[in-house]
Amino acid sequence: GAVVSQHPSRVICKSGTSVKIECRSLDFQATTMFWYRQFPKQSLMLMATSNEGSKATYEQGVEKDKFLINHASLTLSTLTVTSAHPEDSSFYICSAARTGASYGYTFGSGTRLTVV
Amino acid sequence: GEDVEQSLFLSVREGDSSVINCTYTDSSSTYLYWYKQEPGAGLQLLTYIFSNMDMKQDQRLTVLLNKKDKHLSLRIADTQTGDSAIYFCAERSSGNTGKLIFGQGTTLQVKP
């Protein structure tokens, strides 16, 4: 149990376009999901906390108009990178918190975004 | 503020034990976790420990927690080449969001 599906796994887009990444909890309900960004050989940087039915909470330095987060249901959160630029190229990972679980959060398999 | 530190690299021979160390600063952390990341993949939860525990063992994995020194370690017995990966230590924030704070990750290289 506790599977999180993230799509797409890899995407290449042109500068100026927008890209949507989906994060789904397949067999449990997730009131809270987290979006991370990971640079090569570096740790995960938390971008925002996504709460079902309310606005996301962004970490300091993360542009909310650039990285749009929608958590419309208990099983789906989306991250849209708007007007993407090459510096947005990165590995994006989501995780979902299972309600009442103490054993940590389940992570998606990540999305490799390349902006050309 | 909250901070988690790890050594960046560890190399061992197949069959040996590996010990990955981590220090953290938030004394009110409730849970501490070890995650494994293979190249190009997401994070896999290996094990976790509640802050009122000193030790937890799960098959080849042993977690030791020294709450006084805010030190956490992960021991992998009989390390295999398939254990080669990046290992992240994380603490669960004591704040309302419950977000995870990650260390930089330790790259474990297992030589045959």
Mean pLDDT across chain B: 91
Is omega for the bond preceding A86 within 30 degrees of 0, making it cis? no
Q: What's the pLDDT at A103? A: 59
Q: What's the pLDDT at B6? A: 94
Measured distance between the N- and C-terminal CA atoms of chain A, rounded to whole angstroms: 37
Contact map slice: A 51-110 vs B, CB within 8 A: 57, 93, 95, 97, 102-110
Q: Tell me the CA distances in angstroms from A3 to A22, A52, A110, B45, B92, one per residue in order.
A: 14, 18, 13, 12, 20
Q: What's the pLDDT at B49? A: 92
Mean pLDDT, range A66-90, rounded to an integer: 94
Range in A1-5, A112-116, B59-63, B69-73 with the lowest mean pLDDT: A1-5
Maximum mean pLDDT: which of A38-42, A104-108, B72-76: B72-76
Q: Between residues A85 and B40, which one has the greater pLDDT?
A: A85
User: pLDDT tens for residues A26-77?
Assistant: 988 888 899 999 988 788 999 999 888 888 999 999 999 999 999 888 899 9
Amino acid at A78: T
Q: What's the pLDDT at A99? A: 64
Query: CA nearest B86: which of B5, B8, B31, B27?
Result: B8
Whether residue A24 is predicted with pLDDT greater than 90 in this model: the reply is: yes
Whether residue B77 is predicted with pLDDT greater than 60 in this model: the reply is: yes
**Residues from chain B contacting residue A110 (CB–CB below 8 Å):** 40-42
Q: Is B21 exposed, middle or buried (0-12, 13-18, 19+ CB in 10 A)?
A: middle
Range in A56-65, A90-99, B63-72 with the lowest mean pLDDT: A90-99
Residue that the structure tokens 């990046």 belong to: B86
- Could you give the CA distance from residue B1 to residue A67 in angstroms, rounded to a whole number? 25
**Residues from chain A contacting residue B1 (CB–CB below 8 Å):** none
- The torsion angle over the Cα atoms of residues A15, B42, A105 and A73, rounded to 10 degrees, is 40
A54 SS3 class: coil
What percent of chain B is predicted at pLDDT more than 70? Answer: 95
Strand ranges of the sheet holding A19-25, from the earlier edge strand across to the other edge: A4-7, A19-25, A76-81, A67-73
Mean pLDDT, range B39-53, rounded to an integer: 89
Are B12 and B111 in contact by the 8 Å Cβ rule? The answer is yes
**Closest CB from A32, A34, A107 relative to B42:** A107
Q: Is A95 exposed, middle or buried (0-12, 13-18, 19+ CB in 10 A)?
A: buried
**Residues from chain B contacting residue A32 (CB–CB below 8 Å):** 97-98
A22 in reach of chain B (CB within 8 A):
no
User: pLDDT tens for residues B95-105?
Assistant: 656 788 899 99
Q: What's the pLDDT at B19? A: 98
Half-sphere exposure of B33 (CA within 13 A, CB side): 22
Q: What's the pLDDT at B27? A: 78
Query: CA nearest A37: which of A106, A113, A98, A115?
Result: A113
Q: What's the pLDDT at B76? A: 98
